[in-house]
Structure 1
């Protein structure tokens, strides 16, 4: 099985389920990305969104029952691309972010690669 290889880079990963976070981190490494920072709760994610150095973020929409919007706002203010990950589809996204890319959980390696490639290429344009 061959996945399309995005150009690589560093990823900020926010996911409250430890096993899912570990699985996504493994997928990212397989695609040639490094995990620059990761968080499993909103306050930690907000702190890292302001201070961590990363190229793109993957944000779980619902983190321990809290919506990810404050973290997304911080990342948008830094002009960094981000992708949502959700089990609820685009209707599960915060209303102000329904135009943003969303990975439907569970997702495959190829889907993750395409979304990252698209997010990073839009940043360059």
Structure 2
């Protein structure tokens, strides 16, 4: 792992929204390496509830395709209503950059699955304006 990636942050909290539990666990492990504490939720409804409680996250990582319910685009729009400056990183294995640009919230980042740890770290740094 690159030294710059290891020093992104410490004691930051992120919310991961992905309907696949193992993806949440993988992202949590990868971002734990750079000092993030993650909370994972597996549906749009869980995300809406969590985002409504308090704006205590420094980053939202959201899968575009969440199975049943609304999309990650909708979750991100809701998150920005709750916290207008919240950095958002879209994650998808099916949606391309064109969809992200058309439907995503302004200033959000995008990373395609599958990704490496270094690619995720770089995408997070960019989303946080630290790249």
Quick check: TM above 0.5? yes
Matching residue of 1:108: 116
TM-score, normalising length: structure 2 = 0.81
Note closer, same or farther for the CA distance 1:17–1:39 as it changes in structure 2 (3 Å cut). Answer: same
Matching residue of 2:2: 2
- Displaced runs of 4+ in structure 1, greater than 2 A? 91-96
Greater share of strand: 1
Q: Deviations over 1:66-85 (max 9, x none)?
A: 41232111211212111000
Equivalent residues, number: 121
Cα separation, 1, equivalents of 2:67 and 2:101: 15
Matching residue of 1:84: 90
Unpaired runs of 5+ residues, structure 2, are none
Q: CA RMSD in A?
A: 2.0
TM-score, normalising length: structure 1 = 0.84
Contact 1:86–1:92 (8 Å) recurs in 2:
no
Matching residue of 1:47: 49
Higher mean displacement: 22-31 or 46-55: 46-55
Unpaired runs of 5+ residues, structure 1, are none
